[in-house]
Structure 1
């Protein structure tokens, strides 16, 4: 009987009590934003009133009744904190203040109708249990908002990367990637009117400050469900593609290489050369080319390598058809030699071209006797004749022989 009387008195007090609690909360937290519903009533006041009503109704139906929480209101409070980038700490502190103020008044009602202290203790425990339920609802809303924001940010980030890496800024034609030694210097990200402003707009939406230079990476997943590398703020990362891509701003900035090295532990792939922002697609093409060579076993795997440290392989192994055609013409004299003898002559020829020295220098490089080198050099001159004295032909021979060495068809010496 006392419980029903308590609930009836408490329900009568709810409107005024809700106003008093909101007033105290605003005094304690003057920066609390005021959000109105469609009727112009503060959402906070609605939430407090519904929470009080739900708690009192729970007490009235205490015989096994489940707590009734104003789900949407308190989930919306949590969503609001998430969408505005705030933590839940202040919201939970406000809830605790509200419960403390509410319980002060409810305790007065309990004394008024002489509810025994043990029963009031049970009511207090119910109140704090009810508070936990309200917090849970806000946490759900907060998590939902955080997930929505994260998803939206990833979507906008992918759109930014698509524009940044667009090929519309011009292509150097089929075959090998464009020269990355010099950027275009263009003030436009794609060479088209309005491209820079579009890039500015997309960058601003994800809070990414446009850098002067970037390097683009292509990654190989260590496992299908691999967790994204913790590349840190500022590095754009797209994990939605089969081979994840990343855009590293100001790649030569102090500390950046070391941070990337630690973040990429366990991953493999390639980072293209640093280029002006407008030439990001060129850096991407070199990174993709390096990854293809890694997959063929022609570049080291198991790490994230930098294209600038493997320029020779990228230049000589990329235009494969051209190099092979040149090799067929340049190395035609070896066609009638056996495979093993042809390989030894090729290695000797390359060592001679690289050292520009006599038999002793070439022998030291190859680790054989000088007399062996002299014998091979005589054979080389017999096979190629005066062509080995022509600078252009020597250059072509060195190109194709270096390419074969990079592919593992010739031994590494020196």
Structure 2
């Protein structure tokens, strides 16, 4: 085989350039030189391997890994390389078959050489694929690192300079939108699989987060809901790009309230804008607790069960325009029971129930109390003093 290698190389190059458009480069430029170098190295390696299969030279395999990395770096697929290898193998097999016929080589020997040729082609293709995958992974990893840095920059407070954001966005191949919404994810978030590439994500941070460009655009809300349906996720308000830090701040606060059970959801997508009053209410919990101790002090000497009933009744009364019948319907109790409780409240609070400002304060703290519910350690009416019996209400209801 050795005396014919130059001739076979010429045949291979001509056939490859004819059949593979990407390799049809006229002249003796660097592309043609690289093609000839590859073909000659492959042919010599194959012949030496047939002559002595015990000591294979790995340089050709490494060479094809480099070719694979180069194709990835140029943004091309491996289709042209793989087609060229198939065409080269076809030319090699044709020449070997012709030589075997002229030399009357036994069929068993020719079959063994053909099998070696196919195995060799598979190794070269695998090496090119390995190099290609390595390069793509490196590019993807660098792009992901840039996107994470961009996410950090957008969440910075005070906001980063627009020029810095624009430069990093260009490096991360992220088109700059007019508006964004930040998303805070619960710790048990599963890996989303349906996000388009324009959504920035970092699931490795302490509070996993996303940035959604153009969140109010057609179909975007459904896309987010579908992708995060199995996770607890909070979408912050839509804001201009330079206010992304504000969106993630509100998203994180909403997530914290949801994880405590104040906002009733354990999975699915929550939108901060739908819970703004609750967010305002819990913006300063120390302040709301202090206000509760002041305004709900008349209930503090009662036992917990009485506190709960009277607080529930007072909130319903404030929310229903102070209509006892509507309160009864809301609480699913008899109107006479409501009236009895209201008399108790009048005795406890006195003229405070006539003052609009005080009624407003009472509704605020009672809403907070109702949202906190029965979670231990989170009640905002501390019990002090001895409990008072509560049998009178039962008697009144029976009457």
Is 2:292 aligned against 1:331?
no
- Tell me the matched-pair count: 370
Task: Give the structure-2-normalised TM-score.
Answer: 0.85
Asked if the contact 1:229/1:264 (under 8 Å) is kept, the reply is no
CA RMSD of superposed structures (Å): 2.5
Distance in 2, matches of 1:292 and 1:212, equals: 28
1:158 to 143, 148, 151: 148
2:366 to 394, 398, 401: 401
Q: CA offset at residue 20 of structure 1?
A: 4.2
Q: 1:197 is matched with which residue? A: 163
Q: CA offset at residue 303 of structure 1?
A: 2.6
Is 2:42 aligned against 1:58?
no
2:221 to 257, 282, 298: 257
Q: CA offset at residue 298 of structure 1?
A: 2.4
What does the per-residue CA deviation read over 1:295-318, in whole Å, with 9 as the maximum and x for residues that have no partner?
323232133322223333322234
Is 2:237 aligned against 1:246?
no
Report the CA distance shift for 1:42/1:397 in structure 2 as closer, same or farther (over 3 A): farther
Is 2:329 aligned against 1:364?
yes
Asked if the contact 2:22/2:80 (under 8 Å) is kept, the reply is no
Structure 1 runs not aligned, ≥5 long: 1-5, 170-189
Asked if the contact 1:58/1:68 (under 8 Å) is kept, the reply is no
Asked if the contact 1:222/1:267 (under 8 Å) is kept, the reply is yes
389-398 or 107-116: which moved more? 107-116
Q: CA offset at residue 230 of structure 1?
A: 3.4
Q: 1:147 is matched with which residue? A: 137
Report the CA distance shift for 1:21/1:216 in structure 2 as closer, same or farther (over 3 A): same
Distance in 2, matches of 1:41 and 1:156, equals: 36
Q: 1:291 is matched with which residue? A: 255
Task: Trace 1:12-411 onto structure 2 (pairs within 5 A).
Answer: 13-14=5-6, 16-32=7-23, 42-62=33-53, 70-169=60-159, 190=160, 195-222=161-188, 226-299=190-263, 300-409=265-374
Q: CA offset at residue 398 of structure 1?
A: 0.8
2:300 match: secondary structure: helix
Report the CA distance shift for 1:327/1:33 in structure 2 as closer, same or farther (over 3 A): farther
2:247 match: secondary structure: helix
Asked if the contact 1:69/1:133 (under 8 Å) is kept, the reply is no
Q: 1:3 is matched with which residue? A: none
Distance in 1, matches of 2:147 and 2:48, equals: 48
Asked if the contact 1:359/1:373 (under 8 Å) is kept, the reply is yes
Q: CA offset at residue 52 of structure 1?
A: 0.8
Structure 2 runs not aligned, ≥5 long: 380-399
Asked if the contact 1:216/1:245 (under 8 Å) is kept, the reply is yes
